[in-house]
Amino acid sequence: MPGGLSWDCYLKIIINTKTSKKIMTRFQKNIRRLSRWVTILLSVIFAIVIASACSSKEEERAEEEPVDYAALIRSTNKLVLSEMTINKMATVDDLKIDEAKGSRQQLNAVLNWFKIGTRKGAYSYNTYLRAYMNLNELKPTDVEVDTVAKVMRIHLPEIRTEFIGRDVQFREDHYRVTGLRTQIKPEERARVKEAMNASLKREVEERAGFKERLKASAKGKAEAYFTAFAEGNGFRAEIDIKD
């Protein structure tokens, strides 16, 4: 045997050498696996630190630069809150003798009375009355923010009303001209439409109920809208609308 070793000793040396190699190989694998986990763990820790630092900077920036809520509200410009549809109707007919004013109208009324046939036209159109706020009137002092109590106080401009849809379609609902009666001319239709517009505006001004109902609806919608705005930014809302 080499070096005068016995067979038993020689076999033990071989076995021990192989066992040591296996242990060393396993140890190296464990070291490599451990190093991968350490790398992953360090990457996660590094990402958390970076994210925390960025979050802190954003919080500091938010504290340094307060939000201009008045400017955000003003950017809406005109806020339409409620709308009402109004239907207006009118008729065209020959002037009656008892309705005539002045000698010229009386003469025309008498001539029409002798003419054979009928001459009638019925016209209508829809217009809209809407309630709105002009948010451009909002001043910086009209929005107060209490960051401690978490309250946003908003002083809103008055609710106004306006007509829209003046040039909508002018409908002819009925038209009947028979006998010796003359046709209804475009100029007559135009005069009727102008008279309808004037009459409608006068009725709305004289009947306060139109605007009161519309403004009441608009006020409720404005309060709901700006309450949601305040709560969306983390505040309890206190809304005040000018009369």
The predicted pLDDT at position 34 comes to 59
Contact between 78 and 121 under an 8 Å Cβ cutoff? The reply is no
| Ordered per-residue pLDDT tens for the chain, 243 residues | 444 545 444 444 444 555 555 655 665 565 666 566 656 766 767 667 666 666 655 555 545 578 899 999 999 999 999 998 888 888 777 655 455 565 555 455 455 555 666 778 888 888 888 999 999 999 999 999 999 999 999 999 999 999 886 556 778 888 778 777 778 888 888 888 888 888 888 888 888 787 888 999 999 999 999 999 999 999 999 999 998
Q: Name the pTM for this structure.
A: 0.59
Virtual CA dihedral for 101, 102, 105, 110, nearest 10 degrees? 90
Going by C-alpha positions, the residue among 173, 175, 171, 140 that lies closest to residue 154 is 140
78-93/119-134 β-pairing: antiparallel
The predicted pLDDT at position 10 comes to 43
Cα 34 → chain centroid: 57
The predicted pLDDT at position 113 comes to 53
Angstrom distance (rounded) from CA 172 to CA 163? 22
